[in-house]
Homo-oligomer: A and B are copies of this chain.
């Protein structure tokens, strides 16, 4: 059994949904289909999810909602018309929206969640209707039928029993059409996944039914070995391991959200990233282990927006508990960090800058001085992290030398190197202004055609 997930642009229009039907029909193993809400049809289009947020805001502010309801319904109507469906499905959708708008507004977050989730929910109903209309026996299944999530206020995740509940879907005769992006608490409250939305639903379903494969259909042919906006015509990645994918996700490989990998990673279901608009392309397979290729490096990613907290104190390394106390101060500000390079008398903590405000920085620096008696404390901004990833890197003598040499040829200084824990990655910290130049240099070093 194959679980397929179709992203927003794959289900944005009648034409796209016809492609989806063709893909599902082409392989009888494709029995479970997780779908997103209709996405953008072109660059300047508005996603249904954004229309729904707008509608929810209007309802909360008691401004006119009727036009906004019509705007949403008309998007579905255009799709239904294009698929030659009668108006029943649009009535179902309109009624569903009005019902949600009557819902409890005491918790605005949950109210907005309920409206947003209707985008996926109603699209799943529409697509199931369409499949049946063209002779593909299909059934819409609501997340109410088993996708149990945790209660507030923690970030939403599927409870272990969700997997047990959904396991029964493996016996389906019909094609299951399942809306992505949300689940229900035991008390029946709808909650959305805040990151990796529909990808997560597909991954949960694939893990629950122990699928042979999880196909993730999007609008690109594959994952590239480097950002195509920076590197000319980068090599396509045919096969990549979970942990390589995870390390790359660090710095903006945004095709597939890494949290969505978790459910399939745990039981080893391979993932295939494919293109709805070019389904014959092999795509990128994410697998537990893979055969070695000629290259030690699988991909290079880069991301900007990092800051460094530098702390120095004489004889710091003799002071048991110093590093722990420092991390605790950051934890009190709910800040997560990426790396902690250290000397004997100093330590730097590298974190994403978007977690900081001048007030937070001031509090942190003041506490480090007064509670840890640091000699010096500084906060610096404007760093990029460049991550070289590959299963073939460990025990590849000289790889760090090649990378550092390639960087030094650009004239850029290396602000930080982190190697030694992950077996599959090597991280360089550089000033943001050098990021693209260095990415290009490293790509050239590790992906140039092999000389005979």
Q: What residues of chain A have their CB less than 8 Å away from a CB belonging to chain B?
A: 243, 246-247, 249-250, 258-259, 262, 265-266, 308, 310, 314-315, 317-321, 323-324, 327-328, 331, 334-348, 350, 395, 397-398, 400-401, 404-405, 407-408, 411-422, 424-425, 427, 429
What residues of chain B lie closer than 8 Å to A404, measured between beta carbons? Answer: 398, 400-401, 404-405
Q: A317 and B338 in contact (CB under 8 A), knowing A324-B331, A397-B408, A416-B419?
A: yes
- 6 smallest beta-carbon distances between A and B, as pairs: A343-B422, A416-B420, A398-B408, A341-B420, A401-B404, A324-B327
Query: B residues within 8 A CB of A336?
Result: 317-320
Sample of 15 further A-B pairs with CB below 8 A, known A246-B344, A342-B422, A398-B405: A247-B344, A249-B344, A250-B317, A259-B318, A317-B338, A319-B336, A324-B324, A341-B341, A341-B418, A342-B418, A343-B425, A401-B401, A405-B405, A414-B419, A416-B419
How far does the Cβ of A234 sit from chain B's closest Cβ, in whole Å?
A: 21
Task: Contact check, B331 vs A327: say whether CB atoms are below 8 A apart.
Answer: no
- What are 5 sample pairs from A and B whose C-beta atoms fall under 8 A apart? A247-B345, A250-B344, A339-B420, A401-B407, A416-B419
Closest to A251 in B: B344
**A250-B413 Cα distance, complex, nearest whole Å:** 25
Residues of B within 8 A of A308 (CB): 420
Is the Cβ of A413 less than 8 Å from the Cβ of B401? no
Copies in the complex: 2
Q: Knowing A258-B315, A335-B320, A340-B323, say if A346 contacts B421 (CB, 8 Å).
A: yes
Chain A interface, >50% SS class: mixed
Q: Closest CB-CB distance, A345 to chain B, in whole Å?
A: 6
What's the nearest-Cβ distance from chain B to residue A380, in Å?
A: 11
Residue of B nearest to A258 (CB): B315
A420 touches B420 (CB 8 A): no
Q: Which residues of B contact A417 (CB under 8 A)?
A: 400, 417-420
A265-B314 contact, Cβ under 8 Å, with A247-B344, A416-B419: yes
B420 touches A415 (CB 8 A): yes
